[in-house]
């Protein structure tokens, strides 16, 4: 796979709580401060990656990787209506990513506040959604899956370009209450952290329930349920082997062949699509975000 070919491989609803009146005070606390907002001001390199609709193809894989962390799995399974609205987490995540990459400064403040307030109530005896280690892992999955799919479609980046994009992805972690020094200093350090996480995580029943609700959900509209076999195929091939097998997903010779054919056809056609089509989800989610912010203002 492209990102780690020379060393490693991926294989080895916004809260409706309205923002507080003290937004300016919030912007000065330890996590939502001017430095973070300055770094988010013009993330030109990350914009090039996250604007692409193809990243949505890795949404299920990113979610399953996130909930593979037991604390995240408990939070999602025990504090959300995932079984009935499984697409909400994807919507919330992508809205957050798009806002951090393309939103105005005031929009970023409002969305970060909403996420922090939503996380504040997600806690239990052995976990808290505000735990920086959990949020570091969530941000790591967004980078790993996103950069993998992007390079599958557009080819391998230069070292300079790849490092620049990697550094900009760190702001997603920092805005989720992760201290800047917790984000691995380089891509090499990142993949070492990644491999350690993958090799030591144990898939819990919470995570398995989320996976079932995501990949075999009968509550979804018919047109989405018809796509689930393709989603399961893509997700299985994007997940590291150990995580895939722990979820009970299969990767047979036939399935790998089908995935290669699907990937080949997509790679041949997707980059040729007009940019207005490739960026439609980004524009849709940003429009939806702005409508929601107006409604809670």
pLDDT at 5: 46
How large is the average pLDDT for residues 36-57? 82
Indicate whether 20 pLDDT > 90.
Answer: no
pLDDT at 49: 95
pLDDT at 148: 96
d(CA 295, CA 297): 6
Contact 73, 207 (CB under 8 A): yes
d(CA 86, CA 210): 8
Beta strands 123-124 and 127-128, pairing class:
antiparallel
Indicate whether 91 pLDDT > 90.
Answer: no
Evaluate the CA torsion angle 183, 205, 13, 21 in order and state its sign: negative
- The C-alpha angle with vertex 237 and arms to 235 and 243, in degrees rounded to 5, equals 75
* In the chain, domain spans: 28-291
pLDDT at 221: 81
Q: In this predicted model, what pLDDT tens digit does every residue of 245-281 receive, in sequence order?
A: 999 998 999 999 999 999 999 999 999 999 999 999 9
Residue 170 C-alpha from the chain's centroid: 13
Indicate whether 16 pLDDT > 60.
Answer: no
pLDDT at 284: 95
Q: In this predicted model, what pLDDT tens digit does every residue of 94-133 receive, in sequence order?
A: 899 999 999 988 898 898 888 888 777 778 777 777 789 9
pLDDT at 40: 60
Closest alpha carbon to 67 in 251, 208, 192: 208
Task: Provide the whole-model pTM.
Answer: 0.85
Q: In this predicted model, what pLDDT tens digit does every residue of 149-190 receive, in sequence order?
A: 999 999 999 999 999 999 999 888 888 888 888 999 999 999
The mean pLDDT of the chain is 84
């Amino acid at each position: 796979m492209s990102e780690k070919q020379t060393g490693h491989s991926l294989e080895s609803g916004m809260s409706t709580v309205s923002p507080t009146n003290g937004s300016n005070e919030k912007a000065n606390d330890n996590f939502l401060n001017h430095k973070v907002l300055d770094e988010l001001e013009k993330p030109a390199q990350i914009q090039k990656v996250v604007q692409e609709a193809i990243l949505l193809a890795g949404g299920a894989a990113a979610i399953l990787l996130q909930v593979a962390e037991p604390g995240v799995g408990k939070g999602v399974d025990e504090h959300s209506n995932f079984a009935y609205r499984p697409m909400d987490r994807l919507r919330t995540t992508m809205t957050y990513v798009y806002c951090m990459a393309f939103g105005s400064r005031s929009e970023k403040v409002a969305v970060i506040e909403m996420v922090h307030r939503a996380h504040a109530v997600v806690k239990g005896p052995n976990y808290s959604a505000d735990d920086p280690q959990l949020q570091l892992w969530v941000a790591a999955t967004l980078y790993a899956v996103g950069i993998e799919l992007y390079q599958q479609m557009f080819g391998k980046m230069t070292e300079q370009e790849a490092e620049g994009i990697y550094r900009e992805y760190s702001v997603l972690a920092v805005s989720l209450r992760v201290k800047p020094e917790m984000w691995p200093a380089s891509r090499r350090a990142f993949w070492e952290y990644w491999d350690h996480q993958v090799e030591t995580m144990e898939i819990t029943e919470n995570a398995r329930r989320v996976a079932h609700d995501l990949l075999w959900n009968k509550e979804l509209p018919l047109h989405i349920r018809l796509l689930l076999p393709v989603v399961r195929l893509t997700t299985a091939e994007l997940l590291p082997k150990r995580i895939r097998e722990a979820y009970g997903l299969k990767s047979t010779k036939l399935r790998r062949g089908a995935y290669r054919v699907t990937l080949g056809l997509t790679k041949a056609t997707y980059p040729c699509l007009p940019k207005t089509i490739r960026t439609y989800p980004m524009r849709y989610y940003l429009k939806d975000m702005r409508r929601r912010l107006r409604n809670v203002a």
